[in-house]
Amino acid sequence: MNLVSVGTVAFDAIETPFGKTDKIIGGACTYISLSASYFNSNPRLISVVGEDFPQETIDLFNQRGISTEGLQIKKGEKTFFWSGKYHTDMNTRDTLDTQLNVLETFDPKVPDSYQDCDILMLGNLLPAVQHNVLKQMKNRPKLIVLDTMNFWMETALEDLKKVIKEIDVLTIND
Those residues with Cβ within 8 angstroms of residue 63's Cβ, 6 or more apart along the chain or in another chain: none
Amino acid of residue 23? K
Q: What is the pLDDT of residues 106-145, one digit of tens each?
A: 999 999 999 999 999 999 999 999 999 999 999 999 999 9
pLDDT at residue 173, rounded to an integer = 83
> Domain map of the chain by residue range?
3-9+27-72+106-173
Which residues are CB-contacts of 31 (< 8 A; sequence separation ≥ 6)? none
Residue 16: how many other CB atoms lie within 10 Å: 14
The 43-50 sheet, strands edge to edge: 67-74, 43-50, 3-6, 119-122, 143-149, 169-173
Cα atoms in the Cβ-side hemisphere of radius 13 Å centred on 40: 0
User: For 3-9+27-72+106-173, CATH number?
Assistant: 3.40.1190.20
Burial of 76-113, coded b for 16+ CB within 10 Å and e otherwise, reads ebbbbbbbbeeeeeeeeeeeeeeeebbbeebebebeee
Q: Identify the helix (H) or strand (E) that includes residue 131.
A: helix 127-136
Q: By the 8 A CB rule, do 68 and 57 touch?
A: no
- Please report, for residues 21, 69, 92, 99, 164, the alpha-carbon distance to residue 119 in angstroms, rounded to integers and kept in the order given: 32, 17, 30, 29, 16
Q: Compute the distance between CA of residue 136 and CA of residue 108 in angstroms, rounded to an integer.
A: 9
**pLDDT, average across residues 169-173:** 94
Whole-model pTM: value is 0.93
Q: How confident is the model at residue 47 (pLDDT cuts 50, 70, 90)?
A: very high
pLDDT tier at 150, thresholds 50, 70, 90? confident
The pLDDT score that the predictor gives to residue 1 is 85
Closest C-alpha among 164, 108, 170 to residue 136: 108
With contact defined as beta carbons under 8 Å apart, do 1 and 41 qualify?
A: yes
Predicted confidence at residue 59, as pLDDT, reads 98
- Cα 155 to its chain centre, rounded Å, is 19
| Res 174 pLDDT > 80 | no
Output the pLDDT for position 40.
Answer: 79
pLDDT in tens, 11-38: 999 999 999 999 999 999 999 999 999 9
